[in-house]
Amino acid sequence: MTTGSGFLGRNFVAKLAIVAVMVLALLFVLFPVYWMIITSLKLPREIFRVPSLWPQVFTQSNYRSLIEDKDFLIAIRNSFIVASSVTLISLVVASLAAYSMVRFHYRFKGLIGRLILFAYLTPTSLLFIPLSILIARLQLGNTLHGLILVYLTFSLPVSTWMLQAYFAAVPRELEEQGMIDGLTRLGALFRIVLPLSAPGLAAVAIFTFTGAWNELLLALVLITSESRRTAPLALNYLITSDVLPWGPLMAGAVLSSLPLMLLYFVAQRFVVQGMTAGSVKG
Amino acid sequence: MRQQRSAAGEPRLSADAQQQLFAYCLVLPVALLLVGLVGYPLFYAIYVSFTNLVVGGAGDWVGLANFRYLAGSPVFSSAVWNTIVLVLVSDGLKLAIGLGLALIVNERIPARGVFRSLLMLPWAMPAFVAFLTWRVLYQPIGGGINLVLTKTGLYPEIVDWLGQRSTAMPAVIVASVWRGFPFWFISILAALQNISTELYEAARIDGANAWQRFRAVTWPGIKRVVVITTLLSSIWTANSFESVWLLTQGGPSDATMVFPVLAYFGMQTQRIGEAAAVSVALLPALLVLVFVTTSLMQSDED
C-alpha cells in the first residue's frame, strides 16, 4: 500500500475541497441507511403524519408485526437454508474445477474457461424464463431445492473464476513436496492448496452467500407458496399489497441486512481482496 | 483403482493419460451443471422466442412474429430507450464518483480506513434492501428526501419522485448509482495502490501539474481496470431487475420500463414466447459486451 502518492499535490485549497467532498460523500452514503433504521423504529402514525429526522417515540411494533403477522422469521430461515446450501455446494464443486484448471494442461481447457466466464456474465434476466420451465419439468417448482439448483447458475461460475486466481498463487513445489511425502493429488488439494487459499475460500463463500441471499427474480418466478418465501420475496409482497407498510418494510430491510453487514465487517479484508482478485484484477 | 484394473490385464494407462482423466473428472461437475443450467436454457430461450408458447400449451414455430410484434409495440421501444439511458447515465456517474473517491482515498487523508469502509456500505447491503429503502426515501409522505429538501429550503414543494414521468427515471438512476458506485470505487482504488510512488515523484520533478500527472501516471495504471469495470457494470445494469422492479415496477406509464421487467410482465401474462423474445432481443448487444469482456478478462489471467 502506498500512501499519499498523489497526483493532487499538497496545497491548502485542495485539502479543503477534499474534506468537503468527503463530507458530501458520507452524507450521500449514510443518509439512506439512517432513514431505513429510524423508519423501522417509528410508529406508523408518526411516519405518515409527523415527518422528522428523529423519532418522537421509539417502537418495536414494526418488528413485532413483521415477525408475528407476516412470519418474517420463516422467510429469513428459508433464505439461510438456500444461501448456505448454495454456498456449500459451490465451494466443493468449484474448488475441484478450479484446481483442475489451474494445475493441469489438457485439451478444451481454454474453452471450458471461456464457458465459465460466459456463464458468469449471462444474466439471470435472460435465463429466468427457460429455467422456470426446466424446474417445472423436474417437478421442483415451488421448492427450496429448485431454488438452490437454479442459484448455481450464478454461484458456480463466479466461484470457479475467483478460486482459480487463489489456487494459482499456491506454489506448485509445496504440492509436489506433499506428494513425495505420500499425499495423493486430492490429498494435496485438501491438505495443502485449500488451507493455503483460506482467504480466497472465505471471500468466495461470502460472495456466493450474498448472491443467493439477494436474489429476487428467480424466487419471484419459482416460489408460489407463502411458507417458502425467501426474505427478498417476503418484502416484495409487502410492497405490492395495497397498504403501504413503510415501518414493517424497513424493519424487514434491517433484519435482512444484519447478517450480511456483520459478515462484511468481520471479513472486510477478504472481501476486498476477493473482489479485486476475482472479477477485476488490479 | 485404475492401477488395480490394469494389473488384471487391461491395457495400462500412461501416467499422463491418467492425469488427464483425473483433470477432466474434476472439472466435469461444473461443466455439466453449467451446460444444463446455463447453456441449455439459453438456447431453449432463443428457441422459445420463435414460438407462440403459452403456459399449459404447446408452442408452434412462428418465425420472427414475436420480434415483429415487439418492434411495433411502444412499451418495447420505451424499454430499449430506458435501458440505454439507465446504462449510460448511471454507469457514467458510477465511474465519475468511484474514480473521484478512489483518487481521494489514495491520498494521505484523515480517517482513511474508516472512510473507505463506510463508502463500501451500500454495496454490503443486499440490493433488494437498498432499493426498498430508496423507495421509502422517495415517498411524498414518510420519505426522507422530501423532508430534507423542504426543511433545508433547497426545494419548497413535496415531490412524488417515483410517481411522475419526469422524475422517475432520474430517481431510479440515483438509487442505482448509490448501490453500484462502491464496486467501481474499490476496483479503481486497488489499481491505484499498485502504481508506484516513484512514478509520481519523477513526474513532479519533471514539473508536471496535477492534470499532467493524472494523464501520464494515473490513467495508464488504471485504464485496464476501468475498461473491464465499465463492461461488467454495463452488463449488470442493463439486466438488473431489482432496481426498477422494487422502485417503480416500470411505471409510471412505462417511464422506467426496462428489458428484465418487461420480460417478467410478459411471463406473468403467460405468453412465454413473447416474454422470451423480449430478453432475447437484448442478446446481440449483450453478446458483443460479453465477448469483449471475457477476452479481456481471460487475457488478464496469465
B 93-132 near A (Cβ less than 8 A):
97, 100-101, 103-104, 106-109, 112, 115, 117-122, 124-130, 132
| Average pLDDT across chain B, whole number | 88
Structural domain harbouring B38: 2-48
Report which of residues A210 and B9 the model is more confident about: A210
Task: Looking at the structure, tell me whether residues B29 and B142 fall in a common domain.
Answer: no
For residue B51, what are the β-bridge partners?
B61
Q: Do both B148 and B20 map to the same domain?
A: no
Q: How confident is the model at residue A56 (pLDDT cuts 50, 70, 90)?
A: confident
State the Cα–Cα distance between residues A29 and B161, nearest whole angstrom: 19
pLDDT at position A275: 67
In the prediction, which pLDDT does B242 show?
A: 92
Q: How far from B81 is each of A7, A272, B257, B259, CA to CA, in Å?
A: 38, 34, 9, 10
- Is the predicted pLDDT of residue A259 greater than 50, yes or no? yes
Q: Which CATH number do you get for residue B141?
A: 1.10.3720.10
Q: Considering only CB atoms, which chain A residues are within 8 Å of B25?
A: 100
Q: How far is B292 from chain A, CA to nearest CA, in Å?
A: 11
* Binary contact (A239, B135; C-beta < 8 A): yes
The closest CB to that of B104, out of A21, A53, A164, belongs to A21
Whether A105 maps to a domain, the answer reads: yes
pLDDT(B43) > 90:
yes
Distance CA A147, CA A159 (A): 18
B9–chain A nearest CA distance, Å? 24
- Taking 50 as the threshold, does the pLDDT of residue B3 lie above it? no
User: In the predicted model, what is the mean pLDDT of residues B262-287?
Assistant: 89
Q: Measuring CA to CA, which residue among B277, B285, B129, B257 is closest to residue A36?
A: B129
pLDDT at site A44:
82
What's the pLDDT score for residue A160? 93
Q: Which of B126, B132, B246 sits opposite A213 (nearest CB)?
A: B126
Alpha-carbon torsion A201, A202, A207, A209, what sign? positive
Number of A:B CB contacts under 8 A? 310
In the predicted model, is pLDDT for residue B302 greater than 60?
A: no
Mean pLDDT of A203-221: 93
Number of domains in chain A: 2
Q: With 50 as the cut, is the pLDDT of residue B19 above it?
A: yes
Report the distance separating Cα A97 and Cα A156, nearest Å.
10
The yes-or-no verdict on residue B292 having pLDDT over 80 is: yes
Chain A residues inside the 8 Å CB shell of B128: 214, 216, 231-232, 235-236, 256
| Residue of A152, A150, A175, A173 lying closest to A99 (CA atoms) | A175
The whole domain housing A108 covers 69-278
Is B272 in Cβ contact with A125 (below 8 Å)? Answer: no
pLDDT level of residue B237 (50, 70, 90 thresholds): very high
pLDDT at residue number B39 = 92
Residue B22 CB neighbour total at 10 angstroms: 18
State the average pLDDT for chain A: 87
How would you label B55-69 residue by residue, b for 16+ Cβ within 10 Å and e otherwise? eeeeeeebeeebbee
For residue A192, tell me if it sits in a domain. yes
* Residue closest to B131 by CA, chosen among B90, B100, B95: B90
> What is the nearest CA distance from A226 to chain B, expressed in angstroms?
18
> For residue A280, what pLDDT is reported?
38
A139-143, A193-197, B54-58, B210-214, range with greatest mean pLDDT: A139-143
Please, which residues bridge with residue B61 across strands? B51
The domain that holds A134 is classified in CATH as 1.10.3720.10
pTM score of the predicted model: 0.89
Position A268 scores a pLDDT of 76
pLDDT in tens, B50-102: 998 887 777 788 888 889 988 889 999 999 999 999 999 999 999 999 999 99
Asked if B14 and B90 sit in the same domain, the reply is: no
Q: Tell me, yes or no, whether B23 and B125 share the same domain.
A: no
pLDDT at A281: 33
- The answer to whether B63 and B50 have CB atoms below 8 angstroms apart is yes
Q: Is B216 among the domain residues?
A: yes
On whether any CB of chain A is under 8 Å from the CB of B46, the answer is no
In this structure, the answer to whether residues B139 and B30 fall within a common structural domain is no
Structure-block grid coordinates of residue A197: 487459499
Is the domain of B187 the same as that of B99?
yes
Asked if B15 has any chain A CB less than 8 Å from its own CB, the reply is: no
A108 conformational bin, left if phi > 0, alpha if psi -120 to 50, beta if neither: left
Asked whether residue B153 falls in the same domain as residue B289, the answer is yes
Do residue B24 and residue A100 have CB atoms under 8 angstroms apart?
yes
Q: Show the cell assigned to A259.
A: 447478517
Comparing A38-52, A91-105, B154-168, the range with the smallest average pLDDT is A38-52
Question: In this structure, are A206 and A265 located in the same domain?
Answer: yes
Q: Are residues A59 and A73 in the same domain?
A: no
Of A212, A92, A233, residue with least CA distance to A152: A212
pLDDT at B2 over 50: no
Q: Which residues of A touch B301 (CB under 8 A)?
A: 113, 164
Q: In terms of domains, do B42 and B137 share one?
A: no
- Mean pLDDT for A23-32 is 95
Number of domains composing chain B:
2
Confidence of residue B1 (pLDDT cuts 50, 70, 90): very low
Name the minimum distance, in Å, from the CA of B210 to any CA of chain A.
Answer: 5
Q: Which pLDDT value is given to residue B42?
A: 93
Q: What is the ipTM of this complex?
A: 0.89
B108, closest residue in chain A (CA to CA): A4
A12 part of contact set with chain B, CB < 8 Å: no
The C-alpha of A276 sits at a distance from chain B's nearest C-alpha, in angstroms, of: 6
Q: What is chain B's length? A: 302
Residue B211 above 90 pLDDT? no
pLDDT for B166 equals 92
Is the pLDDT at A229 greater than 90, yes or no? yes
Cell numbers found for residue A226: 407463502
| pLDDT at residue B293 is higher than 70 | yes
Q: What is the model's pLDDT at position A103?
A: 87
Q: What is the mean pLDDT of residues B180-201?
A: 89
Question: By the CB < 8 Å criterion, does A8 face chain B?
Answer: yes
For chain B, say whether A13 makes contact (Cβ under 8 Å): no
pLDDT of residue B174: 97
Cell 424466487 sits on residue: A219
- Note the pLDDT of residue A277: 58
Q: Which residue blocks in B162-206 are alpha helix, DSSP H?
A: 165-193, 197-205
Q: Which of A:193-252 have CB within 8 Å of B? A: 210, 213-214, 216-217, 220-221, 231-232, 235-236, 239, 244, 246, 249-250
